[in-house]
């Protein structure tokens, strides 16, 4: 029987413990998936003494059932589609394009709000750890993995506090390592495994990443 996390802070502490082999390494880069993954990634980065940045990804929700993912898009014109969902529900190419265009606009808006004029990080040859607050189907994370792979990292790690076992198994085929302390079944939803799962706002994300970016020169000097 899996116990629920109190909140994202507790989940981050336990996730950071599982990631201790990566602590203090100069090649590590933590990438948080906004919005909910950023508070977790921030605390993980603090514990591991690693720089924090963002990986912008948007789920492509099924029209009329937006909570169900038919795919996802990520920065760099990356798109991953769930062929099984699309075929089962008979979703047309035109519907996919409409949803993708809308989510692309949101992706660009978030990039402006969160990053401003700051350039994206250099990932080539680094150990990149992708962090979210949990996974359900894994569609958004698969898009994030595809986007990072294009940047030629030396190692790509997915780290999340909770996810269903079948999602973890699938992601292990695409990432070099998946770190996930809890894999409860039946899963139902990410929020079920948190006592406090309040929404994370754009302002929450902006404040955390700006704070991390101010602190990173100090970490480099330490």
d(CA 99, CA 72): 10
Q: How many domains does the chain have?
A: 1
pLDDT in tens, 59-102: 899 999 888 889 989 887 889 898 989 999 999 999 999 999 99
Contact assessment for residue 83 and residue 96, using Cβ atoms and an 8 Å cutoff: no
Q: Would you say residue 191 lies in a domain?
A: yes
Kind of pairing, strands 127-131 and 28-32? parallel
**20 burial class (0-12, 13-18, 19+ CB within 10 angstroms)?**
exposed
Q: Would you say residue 2 lies in a domain?
A: no
Kindly give the residue spans of alpha helices, DSSP state H, lying in 90-138.
Answer: 93-115
SS3 content of the chain, % helix, strand, coil (to 5): 45, 20, 35
- Strand order across the beta sheet in which 57-62 lies: 57-62, 65-74, 78-81
Q: Would you say residue 3 lies in a domain?
A: no
**Beta bridge partners of residue 69, listed in sequence order:** 61
Q: Would you say residue 1 lies in a domain?
A: no
- pLDDT, position 194: 97
pLDDT in tens, 168-205: 999 999 999 999 999 999 999 999 999 999 999 999 99
Contact assessment for residue 185 and residue 165, using Cβ atoms and an 8 Å cutoff: yes
Q: Would you say residue 108 lies in a domain?
A: yes
Residue 109 above 70 pLDDT?
yes
Residue 170's CATH number: 3.40.50.2020
Most confident range, picked from 11-20, 182-191, 209-218: 11-20
CA distances from 83 to 91, 92, 96, 146, 215 (A): 10, 11, 11, 17, 42
Ramachandran bin of 189, using left for φ above 0, alpha for ψ from -120 to 50, beta for the remaining angles: beta
Q: Would you say residue 75 lies in a domain?
A: yes
- Quick one: tokens of 59? 């789920």
d(CA 124, CA 114): 22
- pLDDT, position 66: 87
- pLDDT, position 78: 87
Exposure string over 121-136, b if 16+ CB within 10 A, otherwise e:
bebeebbbbbbbbbbb
Domain assignment of residue 79, given as a range: 8-221
Q: Would you say residue 90 lies in a domain?
A: yes
Q: Would you say residue 149 lies in a domain?
A: yes
Kind of pairing, strands 127-131 and 78-81? unpaired
């Amino acid at each position: 029987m899996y116990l629920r996390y109190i909140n994202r802070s507790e989940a981050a502490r336990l996730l950071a413990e599982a990631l201790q082999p990566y602590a203090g390494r100069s090649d590590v880069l933590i990438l948080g998936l906004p919005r909910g993954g950023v508070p977790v990634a921030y605390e993980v980065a603090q514990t591991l003494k690693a720089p924090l940045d963002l990986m912008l990804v948007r789920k492509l929700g099924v029209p009329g059932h937006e909570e169900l993912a038919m795919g996802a898009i990520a920065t760099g014109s990356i798109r991953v589609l769930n062929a099984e969902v699309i075929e089962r529900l008979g979703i047309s190419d035109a519907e996919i394009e409409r949803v993708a265009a809308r989510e692309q606009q949101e992706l660009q808006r978030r990039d402006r709000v969160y990053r401003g004029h700051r350039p994206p990080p250099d990932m080539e040859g680094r150990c990149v750890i992708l962090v979210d607050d949990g996974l359900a189907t894994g569609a958004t994370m698969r898009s994030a993995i595809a986007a990072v792979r294009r940047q030629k990292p030396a190692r790509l790690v997915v780290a999340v506090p909770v996810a269903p076992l079948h999602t973890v198994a699938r992601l292990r085929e695409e990432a070099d390592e998946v770190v996930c302390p809890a894999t409860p079944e039946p899963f139902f939803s990410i929020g079920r495994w948190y006592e406090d799962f309040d929404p994370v706002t754009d302002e929450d994300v902006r404040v955390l990443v700006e704070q991390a970016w101010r602190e990173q020169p100090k970490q480099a000097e330490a």
